[in-house]
Structure 1
Amino acid sequence: MSAEPTEGAETPGNTVQTHGSPQRNTAIAKLAAGAIGIVFGDIGTSPLYAFRETFIGAHPLELDRVHVLGVVSLIFWSMTLVVTIQYVSITMRADNKGQGGSLALVALLSGVMRRSKYGWLAVLLGVFATALFYGDSMITPAISVLSAVEGLAVVQPALGHLVIPIALTLLVFLFLIQSRGTAKIGALFAPVMFVYFTVIGTLGIIQIVGHPSVLYAFNPWYAVQFFITDGFKAFLALGSVVLAVTGSEALFADMGHFGKKPMRIAWYGFVMPALLCNYFGQGAMILSLDAAGAAAAIESPFFIMAPEVLRLPLVILATMATFIASQAVISGSFSVTHQAIQLGFIPRLTIKHTSASEAGQIYIPFVNWAIMISVILLVLTFQTSSNLASAYGIAVTGAMFIDTCLLAIVMVVLWKWKLWFTIPLLAVFFIVDGAYFAANLTKVPDGGWFPLAVGGVAFVILTTWAKGRQIMRKNMAESAMPIEIFTKSAANSATRVPGTAIFMASSSAGVPSALLHNIKHNKVIHERVVILTVNINDVPTIAAEKRCEVKDIGHGFYRLILHFGFMQETNVPEALKEVTGCGMEFDMMTTSFFLSRQTLLPSKKPEMMVWREKLFAWMLRNAATAMEFFKLPTNRVVELGSQMEI
Structure 2
Amino acid sequence: MSHATSHDRSSDTRKFLVLLLGSIGVVYGDIGTSPLYAFREALRPFVSDGVIREEVVIGLISLMVWTLTIIVTFKYVLFLLRADNDGEGGTLSLLALLMKKSGSYMPVLFFAGVIGAALFIGDAMITPALSVMSALEGMKLVTPAFADYVLPLSAAIMVGLFLVQSKGTAAVSKFFGPITVVWFLAMAWGGLIHIGDDWTILQALNPLNALWFITHAGIVGLIVLGAVFLTVTGAEALYADLGHFGRKPIQVAWFILVFPALALNYLGQGALVLTHPEAVENPFYLLYPDWALLPIVILATMATIIASQAVITGAFSLARQAVHLGFLPRLMIKFTSETNTGQIYVPAVNGVLFIGVIVLIFSFGDSESLATAYGISVTGAMVVTTLMAHQFLRQVWGYSVVTASLLLLPLLLVEGVFLIANLTKIHDGGWVPVVLAVAIMLVMWTWTRGTRYLKNKIAQSDIPLTDFIAAVEKKSKHAPAIVPGTAIFLTSVPDRTPAVLLHNIKHNHVLHERNVILTVWTQDKPYVPDSERIQIQTLSDRFMRIDLTFGFMEDPNVTKALSACRKKGFKFEIMNTSFYLGRRVLVRSPNVGLPGWQERLYIALADFGIDPSDYFKLPANRVVELGEQVAI
| Alignment TM-score > 0.5, same fold | yes
The one-letter code matched in structure 1 to 2:92 is L
Residue 564 of structure 2 aligns to a residue whose secondary structure is: coil
1:393 to 356, 375, 380: 375
1:359 aligns with: 341
Q: 1:282 aligns with which of 259, 269, 273?
A: 269
Give yes or no for the alignment of 1:410 onto 2:392. yes
How far 1:507 sits from its partner (Å)? 1.5
1:327 aligns with 2:316: no
Moved more, 135-144 or 232-241: 232-241
**Paired residue type of 1:476:** I
Residue in 1 aligned with 2:582? 596
Cα distance in 2, alignment partners of residues 298 and 606 from structure 1: 61
Counting only pairs closer than 5 Å after superposition, residues 529-548 of structure 1 correspond to structure 2 as: 529-548=515-534
Task: State the distance in 1 between where 2:153 and 2:116 align.
Answer: 32
* Aligned 8 A contact 1:146 1:167 in 2: yes
- Does the C-alpha gap of structure 1 residues 23 and 360 become closer, same or farther in structure 2, counting only changes over 3 Å? closer
Deviation at residue 89 of structure 1 after TM alignment:
1.1
Please report how far the alpha carbon of residue 210 of structure 1 lies from its aligned counterpart in structure 2 after TM superposition: 3.0
Instruction: Give the match's secondary structure for 1:558.
Output: strand
The answer as to 2:140 corresponding to 1:153 is yes
Give the direction of change, closer, same or farther, for the CA distance of 1:137–1:606 in structure 2 (3 Å limit).
Answer: same
- The within-5 A match list for 1:439-588 is 439-492=421-474, 493-580=479-566, 584-588=570-574
* Aligned equivalents of 2:393, 2:73: Cα separation in 1: 18
Partner of residue 405, structure 2: 423
- The residue aligned with 1:134 is 121
| SS of 2:355 mapped into structure 1 | helix
Q: Is the 8 A contact 1:552 1:582 kept in 2?
A: no
| Aligned equivalent of 1:45 | 33
Q: How many residues align?
A: 622
Contact 1:54/1:60 (CA < 8 Å) preserved in 2?
no
Residue 637 of structure 1 and its aligned partner are, at CA, apart by 1.0
CA distance in 2, matches of 1:418, 1:73: 34
Give the match for residue 260 of structure 1: 247
1:249 counterpart = 2:231: no
Kept in 1, the 8 Å contact 2:590–2:596? The answer is: no
Displacement after TM superposition at 1:121 (Å) = 0.7
Q: CA deviation at 1:115?
A: 3.7
Give the equivalent residue in structure 1 for 2:92: 103
Q: Structure 1 pair 418/522, CA: closer, same or farther in 2 (3 Å)? A: closer
Once the two structures are TM-superposed, the CA of residue 94 in structure 1 deviates from its matched residue by 1.1
How big is the shift at 1:248? 0.8
Contact map agreement 1:491 1:555 (CA 8 A) in 2: no
Counterpart residue number, 2:284: 302
Aligned-pair identity in percent equals 43
Deviation at 1:238?
0.8
Q: How far did 1:179 drift?
A: 1.4
| 1:60/1:526 CA distance change after superposition, 3 Å | farther
**Letter of the 1:545 counterpart:** S
Would the aligned equivalents of 2:24 and 2:177 in 1 still touch at CA under 8 Å?
yes
Q: Does 1:640 align with 2:622?
A: no
In the other structure, the counterpart of 1:369 is 351
Aligned to 1:13: none
Distance between the aligned counterparts of 1:74 and 1:40, measured in 2? 20
Task: Report the Cα offset of residue 211 of structure 1.
Answer: 2.2
Contact 1:558–1:582 (CA<8 Å) still a contact in 2? Answer: no
Bigger shift: residues 432-441 or 601-610: 601-610
CA distance in 1, matches of 2:170, 2:13: 24
Partner of 1:28: 16
CA distance in 1, matches of 2:413, 2:452: 37
Greater mean alpha carbon deviation, residues 597-606 or residues 30-39: 597-606
Q: Indicate the residue corresponding to 2:204 in structure 1.
A: 217
Aligned: 1:624 with 2:613: no
| Aligned-partner Cα distance in 1 for 2:99–2:592 | 27
1:12 matched to which residue of 2?
A: none
Match of 1:191 in 2: 178
1:571-602 deviation per Cα after TM superposition (whole angstroms, max 9, x unaligned): 11111111147754222222111111112344
Contact 1:354 1:362 in 2 (8 A): yes
Counterpart of 2:201, as a letter, is: V
Q: Distance in 2 between matches of 1:478 and 1:181?
A: 44
In the TM superposition, residue 478 of structure 1 has moved relative to its aligned partner by: 2.3
- Separation of aligned partners in 2, 1:261 and 1:529: 49
In structure 2, C-alpha distance between the alignment counterparts of 1:142 and 1:641, rounded to whole Å: 44
Change in Cα spacing, 1:249 to 1:328, as seen in structure 2 (3 Å) is: same
Kept after mapping to 2: 8 A contact 1:37/1:194: yes
2:155 is aligned with 1:168: yes
SS in 1 for 2:484: strand
The answer to whether the 8 A contact 1:482-1:509 is kept is yes
Unaligned runs of 5+ in 1: 1-16
**Which of residues 420, 430, 433 in structure 1 aligns to 2:415?**
433
Question: Does the C-alpha gap of structure 1 residues 534 and 584 become closer, same or farther in structure 2, counting only changes over 3 Å?
Answer: closer
Tell me how far 1:529 sits from its aligned partner. 0.8
Whole-Å separation in 1 of the counterparts to 2:574 and 2:264: 60
2:319 maps to: 337
CA deviation after TM superposition for structure 1 residue 420, in Å: 5.5
Q: Secondary structure at the match of 2:89?
A: coil
- Structure 2 distance, partners of 1:353, 1:210, is 51
Q: Conserved in 2, the CA contact under 8 Å of 1:141 and 1:322?
A: yes
Distance 1:626 1:60 in 2: 59
1:50-129 to structure 2, matched below 5 A, reads 50-56=38-44, 63-115=52-104, 119-129=106-116
The separation in 2 between residues aligned to 1:509 and 1:66, in whole angstroms, is 71
SS at match of 2:196: helix
Q: Deviation of residue 184 (structure 1)?
A: 2.2
Give structure 2 stretches of 5+ with no counterpart: none
Q: Distance in 2 between matches of 1:379 and 1:60?
A: 27
193-202 or 322-331, which deviates more: 322-331
* Structure 1 residue 165 displacement after superposition: 1.5
Name the SS of the counterpart of 1:210 in structure 2: coil
Q: CA deviation at 1:60?
A: 6.2
- For 1:402 and 1:420, how far apart are their aligned partners in 2? 19
What is the TM-score when the length of structure 1 is the normalising length? 0.93
User: 1:238-284: per-residue Cα shift (whole Å, max 9, x none)?
Assistant: 10000000111111111111111111111111100001110111001
Moved more, 516-525 or 224-233: 224-233
Question: Residue type of the partner of 1:310?
Answer: A
Q: What amino acid maps onto 2:557 in structure 1?
A: N
CA contact 2:41–2:227 (8 Å) conserved in 1: yes
How far residue 467 of structure 1 moved from its aligned partner, in angstroms, is 0.7
Q: Is the 8 A contact 2:566 2:572 kept in 1?
A: no
Match of 1:3 in 2: none
Q: Show CA shifts across 1:509-560 (max 9, x none).
A: 2111000100100011111111111111100011111101111111221111
What is the root-mean-square deviation in Å for CA atoms of aligned residues? Answer: 1.9
